[in-house]
Amino acid sequence: MLYTSLLRPLLFRLSAEHAHNLTMAQIGMLQSHALGRSILKSFVGSITPSPVQAMGLTFEHPVGLAAGLDKNAEAMEGFFTLGFSHVEIGTLTPRPQPGNPQPRLFRLPADQAIINRMGFNNKGAENAAQRLAMRTSRWKIVGGNIGKNKETPNEQAHEDYVLAMQALHQHVDYFTVNISSPNTPGLRDLQHEAALKFLLETVAKENQRLGSKPLAVKVAPDLTKEEVQNMARLAAEAGFQGIIATNTTIGRSVEKTSADRIAAIGAGGLSGRPLTHKSTEVVSWIKEAVQENLSIIGVGGVFTAQDVIDKRNAGADLVQVYTGFVYQGPGMIKELEPAWKIG
Ligand SMILES: Cc1cc2nc3c(=O)[nH]c(=O)nc-3n(C[C@H](O)[C@H](O)[C@H](O)COP(=O)(O)O)c2cc1C
């Protein structure tokens, strides 16, 4: 309430990236002392646990923070205090990189959506590892979402995933191989069969060498049913435990934002409300293809408890949020709690 009636209107007067940076700085500040954490906690109160087994791990409840919001693991304590059962950091690349030029993040409030072309701006896997080494007992499950640097050609992409994995391995509880961002040129070509098989097997082999953490792969919503089901089968065959559906879409099926505005924004991935149905459909395709072999993490346009229930009914074991958090604010987990308190 405080967020939607007071804080959000203020934040939405700033550019989207400025508001993001300010929010991260605020959470970063509040998380570092007990009084700050109790202020954060006051947005959610106590959250009823409802343990979920997925990828061989036990999550306190089904809802976590999707990759991209805390790329560099700078506000982990804060997000866990806000009630998320897991936080997926990244996408982290082996070397730091600035991402695309600004502006690269746009709100579409009438559609409860975002378009972004951030382009994996991040401080690098080693930098995040140093921060993760300060993990406290209040942290819950940490996912490490890894990718390749922009200048690395696809033929060498596997080397980047391996390097990022090596840097993070002792600090995260599971890994996500991100091959579905629309903002790194050519990245999504890694979703095609031969390249995918090689990448997943290489990552799985290195993971085994380092000491087997659960592995997930994150897919785009812009694939056909056959392509998605093939990917899911390949992931299971390569020894992966999870699949995350979905990343942002290159589609532009918005209802209220004008065509002029959409054209003026240009390239990027669309997330939020316009993605709700599509990502749930992809979850159901995966469920049909892999049955019990893979845990499914549903992400895309989750705003309400009903959205969580719909994703889980379609086959998701876990659910993640990003855009919903931008619109609903820090009390979001409390608003979603009825999804697991009753169901
Ligand atoms: C600004 C922004 C940055 C994102 N960055 C990443 C990223 O670095 N890696 C990734 O796997 N997904 C990234 N995502 C995608 C989200 O994790 C999520 O899959 C997608 O936004 C759909 O969920 P939502 O509708 O709840 O936002 C990003 C999304 C947004 C809006």
Per-residue pLDDT reduced to its tens digit, 30-63: 999 999 999 999 999 999 999 999 999 999 999 9
Instruction: Kindly state the tokens that stand for 49.
Output: 């646990």
pLDDT band per the 50, 70, 90 thresholds, residue 21: very high
Q: What is the pTM of this model?
A: 0.98
Q: Which atom of ligand 1 is nearest to the CA of 116?
A: 1
Per-residue pLDDT reduced to its tens digit, 237-296: 999 999 999 999 999 999 999 999 999 999 999 999 999 999 999 999 999 998 778 999
Evaluate if residue 343 carries a pLDDT over 60. Answer: no
Average pLDDT, the chain: 96
**CATH pick for 2-341 out of 3.20.20.70, 3.30.70.260, 3.10.450.50, 3.30.390.10:** 3.20.20.70
Q: Which atom of ligand 1 is nearest to the CA of 180?
A: 11
* Percent of the chain residues past pLDDT 70, beyond the cut: 99
Relative orientation angle of helices 125-132 and 157-168, to the nearest 10 degrees: 20
Q: Which atom of ligand 1 is nearest to the CA of 247?
A: 19
Q: CA end-to-end span of the chain, whole Å?
A: 25
From 134, 208, 135, 200, select the one nearest 169 (Cα to Cα): 208
Domain range list for the chain: 2-341
Integer Cα distance of 87 and 65 in angstroms = 5
Higher-confidence position of 127 and 193: 127
Q: Which atom of ligand 1 is nearest to the CA of 105?
A: 1
List the residue whose alpha carbon is closest to atom 1 of ligand 1.
116
Catalytic residue among 85, 181, 271, 279: 181
Sign of the torsion angle spanned by Cα atoms 242, 88, 327, 58: positive
Integer Cα distance of 58 and 79 in angstroms = 18
Ligand 1 centroid from CA 321, angstroms: 8
Ligand 1 centroid from CA 35, angstroms: 30
- In our burial notation (b when 16+ CB lie closer than 10 A, e otherwise), range 210-230 reads eeebbbbbbbbbbbeeebbbb
Residue 38 contacts by C-beta under 8 Å, 6 or more apart in sequence?
Answer: none
Ligand 1 centroid from CA 251, angstroms: 15
Q: Which residues line ligand 1 (CB under 6 A)?
A: 66-68, 71, 90-91, 105, 114, 116, 118, 120, 145, 178, 181, 218, 247-248, 271-272, 275, 299-302, 321-324
Integer Cα distance of 306 and 222 in angstroms = 24
List the residue whose alpha carbon is closest to atom 10 of ligand 1.
67
Q: How far, CA to CA in Å, does 318 sit from each of 174, 224, 241?
A: 14, 23, 13
Tell me whether residue 181 is one of the annotated catalytic residues: yes
* pLDDT for res 164: 98
Integer Cα distance of 246 and 243 in angstroms = 9
